[in-house]
Amino acid sequence: MLTPAIPTITLALLLGIVVYRLVFYPILLSPLAKIPSAHWTAPFSRLWILYYRSRQQETPTVHNAHARLGPIVRLAPNEISVNCVDGGIRTIYAGGYEKGDWYINVFNNYGIPPMFSMPEHGPHSRRRRMFSNIYAKSTLQNSAALTTITKTLLKDRLVQRMREMSRSDKPIEFYYLFTAITLDFVSAYVFGLANASRCIEKPDLDRAFFEDYKMRQPYQFWPQEMPILTALLERTGLKWLIVPHKVSSTNNGIEAWILQLCDQAEIVMREADGGKEPAKPEDWPTVYAQLRNALSRDLLKQDLELGADASVQTQRMTKASEMLDHTLAGFDTSSILLTFFAWRLSRPENATWQEKLRKEFAGLTDEFDAKAVDALPMLHAALMETLRLHASIPGNQPRITPAAATLGVSDHAVSGIPAGVRVQSQAWSLHRNPQVFPDPEAWRPERWLESSETQMREMNRWFWAFGSGGRMCVGSNLAMYDMKAIIVAIWSRFETEVVFDEGMTHKGGYVAEPAGKDGRVLELRVTEL
Ligand code: HEM
Ligand SMILES: *[C@@H]1O[C@H](CO)[C@@H](O)[C@H](O)[C@H]1NC(C)=O
Ligand SMILES: *[C@@H]1O[C@H](CO)[C@@H](O)[C@H](O)[C@H]1NC(C)=O
């Protein structure tokens, strides 16, 4: 006969294990217990940080924790944030910690990860090497195709469009002006000018497309932070409870559009294989072609070695997944940055810089010269300062610790951190260290011109707008190229002043779009000189 004692003992044991696992271990025994907690519940629960993540308020929340508690803080039982260079970004990002599944849960176009979201080092670096040449600074600066793309898009289309718009009395919404021109720009390099988007020529600047695109952002929270729940709801047909149908249909629409551009680029390439290159070099799909040729070389090798059969359809989707990522990463980030740049130049408080830049641009010749534009010191300083204070990806970039990691610096260093801990840093906080950037909240381009050599070296070590290490932004040179070219095209010909800027605060998520207000973001009055 069963005595009642046995179930009672079992229950007590189970309870003991649960209390140990959920309370004693994380609070007292875990190697992370030495790290100051950003919130009193952090050692045993993620709930508090999930709350801020779901509301796109993580970045300022984590920033406050670092300001209070120092360069290393615990966000959850198995999550920490680190805000220093030595024992921080140098160890984690330059040290090649892997990405975990945070990226792949969201950036997994057509069900195939692009390099951005590949968790593992090996496949990522094989893919990444394929692009190193076409995104190198010297390649970009010496590319005749890109020079023609720049002239056509900026001098002809952008300036033309701004002239038309400035003639009517209405101010121009610069956020959508920039989303349009940066998408046209990056898609022209990826797919060739003839097949690229032509948003800037349209009177409504494809605003509906960009609004839909942006609307998806808050919903990334679910697959990213709650993957199991999301998968469960998906399997039971209940995903609409957390992610509206409209978001899924917008995602599908974007995928269909990029696939179509890839198929057009494929036609251009097949014709080139048959000896018929496009008549104009600017119509060559530079990025697509690079990936396509590298992949087919790989495939050839694989076929010989293994007799592997990667279907034509998988190949097509692999290319589309990568191209979608470059195109979207390329326009979204640069347009946010340019909007904050335009705001700085157009506010009365900072308007002296509009004059300074215009004087500097007056020394340029009429023909666009990428090297000359890149060498302008004031333009470079103003852009660096905007990337510092208004980084478009200022939020957490999570990685996973290997075994026995030591993180944090000097008094704050913590050793013996076990494998599998989620660790993150954020540009927002690195860029606001008052020892490195005195008066950190002030937009002061002078700091990039007048600081001592030692100070400048320190500033560059802490500058993290493009990340660092093997997974830093692959398109940073293209971004600098197009942002500088766009700035010169506008402010050498037009004067701008703020009409409406109530939307110019940052959202606090991974990407930091301007918050906007009632559908308006940054409206500027434009006067042609
Ligand atoms: C102002 C402009 C830009 C900023 C601030 C920016 C920032 C960043 C950052 C911080 C990362 C690392 C993200 C992470 O690991 O979580 C990244 C990666 C990446 N960026 Fe950019 N980016 C910009 C423009 C561009 C452009 C123009 C392209 C177009 C090719 C691009 C393509 C990519 C790609 C493909 C990756 C993934 C690289 C990899 O995993 O190896 N970005 N970017
Ligand atoms: C795509 O570009 C090629 C030239 O490279 C051009 O012949 C073709 O008409 C373009 N397709 C579309 C749909 O614009
Ligand atoms: C820009 O304006 C801000 C806010 O008024 C101020 O703190 C900063 O010093 C100004 N910077 C320049 C270069 O005018």
173 CB within 6 A, ligand 1: no
Model pLDDT for residues 406-432, shown as the tens digit of each residue? 999 988 999 999 999 999 999 999 999
d(CA 396, CA 504): 21
Give me ligand 2 centre to Cα 268, in Å.
7
Tally of helices (H runs) and strands (E runs) in the chain: 22, 9
- In a mutational test of the pocket of ligand 1, which residue from 473, 474, 510, 511 has the highest number of ligand atoms less than 8 Å from its CB? 473
Give me ligand 3 centre to Cα 513, in Å.
21
Which ligand is closest in space to the CA of residue 442? 3
Helical packing angle, 312-346 and 174-191, nearest 10°: 140
Give me ligand 3 centre to Cα 213, in Å.
32
Consecutive H or E run containing 223: helix 221-225
d(CA 46, CA 332): 29
Q: What pLDDT is stored for residue 3 in this prediction?
A: 63
Model pLDDT for residues 251-303, shown as the tens digit of each residue? 888 899 999 999 999 999 999 888 888 889 999 999 999 999 999 887 766 65
Beta carbons of 96 and 120 less than 8 angstroms apart: no
d(CA 138, CA 220): 36
335 CB within 6 A, ligand 1: no
- In a mutational test of the pocket of ligand 2, which residue from 148, 264, 266, 284 has the highest number of ligand atoms less than 8 Å from its CB? 264
Q: What pLDDT is stored for residue 392 in this prediction?
A: 97
CA-nearest of 487, 497, 485 to 526 is 497
Binding site per annotation, positions for heme: 473
Model pLDDT for residues 76-101, shown as the tens digit of each residue? 999 999 999 999 999 999 999 999 99
CA-nearest of 235, 207, 158, 120 to 470 is 120
**Total-model pTM:** 0.93
Query: Which pair of tokens denotes residue 359?
Result: 């004087």
Q: What pLDDT is stored for residue 252 in this prediction?
A: 87
Give me ligand 1 centre to Cα 440, in Å.
24
DSSP secondary structure letters along 171-219: PEEHHHHHHHHHHHHHHHHHH-GGGS--GGGSTTTTHHHHHHHHHTGGG
Give me ligand 3 centre to Cα 484, in Å.
21
Model pLDDT for residues 373-393, shown as the tens digit of each residue? 999 999 999 999 999 999 999
Q: What pLDDT is stored for residue 168 in this prediction?
A: 83
Dihedral angle of Cα 159, 373, 332, 170, to the nearest 10 degrees? -30
List the alpha helices (DSSP H) in 347-475.
352-362, 370-374, 377-389, 427-430, 447-450, 453-462
Beta strands in 32-105 (DSSP E): 72-76, 79-82
pLDDT classification of 21: cutoffs 50, 70, 90 = confident
- Angle at 130 (CA atoms; ends 125, 135), nearest 5 degrees: 105
- In a mutational test of the pocket of ligand 1, which residue from 191, 333, 431 has the highest number of ligand atoms less than 8 Å from its CB? 333
Question: Coil, strand, or helix at residue 419?
Answer: coil
CB atoms closer than 10 angstroms to residue 450: 11
